[in-house]
Amino acid sequence: MEKLTGISETLLVTLYFRCLETLRSDRLIQDMQSVDIVQQIQDVDWSKFSRDQISQLMVAIRTKIIDDATRNFLKTHPSANIINLAAGLCTRFFRVDNGDLRWYNIDLEPVQQVWMQLIGESDRHRFIVGSALNFEWSSCLPNHQSQKYLIIMEGLSMYLNTEMMHQLIADIQTHFPQSEFILDVISESALNFDNPNCAVAQTSAKFSWGINNLQDIETWGANIHLVQEWDYTDYYPQRWHEINIQDLSPYKNISKVGHFLIP
């Protein structure tokens, strides 16, 4: 894993947290692919991430929310194309595959090398080398202007800045009109949230962007519409209590998922 630096390192954190969740008897998600991948990677000290119970739970909740939102999208658009920006070692394809969709993972070349070794491609599950901040890779997609697309941006926004986020949304509008996109965000206050066991702190990546109101994204371009939003603290209170968080109010609104429509 020496080839992974910065933002790409965080794929190890989310991978491990999904693995831990799957091994629980009261799991929120079932992701045996992540378990298998963690077992294959021998040169990472996974224990350095284990103390961050808060982030582990939040990744599990986020994964569950986006899995369910993707499945609901596919009920209406079963043959849709899914674009997974900054994909890392995401295994969502295997959890939501309906036998009809086409899935495109977009990430940098060092990630591709690891991804091809540990996951690999199939006819409907591809990896395209590219950046979330440069949509040149979109030319690799067949007839993409006439297809229905869902773009997923999971675990990405908090490592960008305001200018990058505006450009990213503008690129989606330009290249994928009449699409939908799902992203997770943290609040501005979460940038300085005190979590002494933070797993991301064990990597060289740093949180750099947050937004307090998802509806503000609607003002970034014409016809952007927030369809639904989810706050992590609205779900699975027993799991929060298990990690000794009885009062959820300090965590309210610090992490959300939003589903947007570009008509």
Per-residue pLDDT of the chain (263 residues; tens, 9 = 90+): 555 555 567 888 999 999 999 999 999 999 999 999 999 998 888 988 888 999 999 999 999 999 999 999 999 999 999 999 999 999 999 999 999 999 999 999 999 999 999 999 999 999 999 999 999 999 989 775 667 999 999 999 999 999 999 999 999 999 999 999 999 999 998 887 656 557 666 666 678 999 999 999 999 999 999 999 999 999 999 999 999 999 999 999 999 999 999 98
How high is the pLDDT of residue 190?
Answer: 87
CA distance 257 to 156: 12
Over the range 128-141, which residues count as b (16 or more CB within 10 Å of their CB) and which as e?
bebebeebebbeeb
Considering all CA atoms of the chain, what is the largest pairwise distance in Å, rounded to the nearest integer?
A: 51
How high is the pLDDT of residue 32?
Answer: 97
Q: Tell me if 167 sits within 8 A of 132, measured CB to CB.
A: no
CA distance 80 to 120: 21
How high is the pLDDT of residue 196?
Answer: 54
Q: Which CATH architecture has domain 61-197+206-261?
A: 3-Layer(aba) Sandwich (3.40)
How high is the pLDDT of residue 207?
Answer: 86
- Give the residue extent of every domain in the chain: 61-197+206-261
How high is the pLDDT of residue 192?
Answer: 78
Q: Tell me if 38 sits within 8 A of 18, measured CB to CB.
A: no
Q: Tell me if 165 sits within 8 A of 212, measured CB to CB.
A: no
How high is the pLDDT of residue 2?
Answer: 52
